A and B are shown apart, each in its own frame.
Chain A
């Protein structure tokens, strides 16, 4: 033990610190989005593995840098590595109920499980909605129009099921 902080305690601190890192394109923490695949702490050396929602998401580098920053200022961390892994694709099941609620509150509809399931308007709840475009303002959002309340809205777009 070099750091004087047991690995188990440090791991908890690391998870807590990761919970303060927000996705720059969505108003939720990366832990609520389900980006963190795993954290390993060995004698003060921290290895964080992340899984991207979209492989080409321009926020990936920003998130990596932010994590290095928060871990760099965490007492007991001697060294930290942050890498993206692809052993299993990201799916909507990785998003926490809190993450979903926050996105909904932000006016972004979130499918329960798959993009292909019917959508409802986040403003009035109507299911009389149409896709305007599969490609919205970010790679992970599609744009819709609600025919009931005439509001345009956005819906979270996970990578398609095979």
Chain B
């Protein structure tokens, strides 16, 4: 598959779009890895398989976006996924957080999937092939993740008062960093000015909040009034990510030239 970046003539614009592709790939890889930690530990066998499948899909999605970057640079995708230092990753901090209970995993899943659907629509509307077509296909897949997350969210929050309280606490913890999903950089300004992106992330945020509140409200859940916690899009990550990266890349680092 030919890379999308080779078709963008302006070097600054190409760098900006590369940034977007990396952000997307890193988000998917990191949340995919966190989801995969539920394999063998889910609350029931169906959820265990579901979370493992979602992990498999997200990591597969990361792969196709890394392929787009690698097609332009001649590198290999394992090098992109496992060979970069923490500060070169562009995912939002929310996604690297350790799985602090099933309720946190579900809240994060719901908040992220809603964001991801909006971002894929932007990529689809960019008209940059093959990324636009890829985004169109992925939108159809992500829908099932959202359904799974929303079903669990209402099940947890509407069961008992303790359930609702614990989900609300997870939401309070996740919310400021979920707002960080929309953190913009100079790359966004460039892409907006060129018309490659039809909408700034900030305007997507309002749409996201509307969609997410519509899911939360029937469950009796209210997002806290807090300022966004950002930094991930600029490579500023937490100790949670240092630990995760160390573990995730351990096998690859043992022999970076190996072919698996």
Contact = CB atoms under 8 A, between A and B. Distances in A.
Interface of A: 52, 54-58, 83-90, 132-137, 139, 143, 157-162
A133 B46 CA distance: 6
Given A55-B141, A56-B56, A89 B136 contact: yes
A88 B137 CA distance: 8
Chain B's interface size range is 20 to 34
Contacts of B137: 52, 55, 86, 89-90, 159
B215 interface: no
Contact of A159 (B1, B60, B134, B141): B141
Contact of A86 (B53, B54, B134, B144): B134
Interface of B: 1, 46, 49-50, 52-54, 56-61, 63-64, 129-130, 133-134, 136-141, 143-144, 147-148
A143 B49 CA distance: 11
Contacts of A57: 60
A133 B151 CA distance: 11
Nearest to B147: A134
A159 B137 CA distance: 8
Contacts of B148: 134-135
Nearest to B138: A55
Given A55-B61, A56-B59, A89-B140, A135 B54 contact: yes
Given A55-B64, A55-B134, A159-B137, A135 B143 contact: no
A56 B83 CA distance: 22
Contacts of B61: 55-56
B141 A54 contact: yes
B133 A135 contact: no
Nearest to B54: A135
B101 to A, nearest CB: 21
A135 B48 CA distance: 10
Nearest to A157: B144
A153 to B, nearest CB: 15
Contacts of A135: 46, 49-50, 52-54, 144, 148
Contacts of B139: 162
Nearest to A57: B60
Nearest to B135: A86
A132 B144 CA distance: 14
Given A134-B144, A159-B141, A139 B136 contact: no
A147 to B, nearest CB: 17
Contacts of B63: 56
8 contacts: A55-B134, A55-B137, A56-B60, A86-B133, A88-B133, A135-B52, A157-B144, A162-B139
B130 A85 contact: yes
Contacts of B52: 135
A83 B59 CA distance: 20
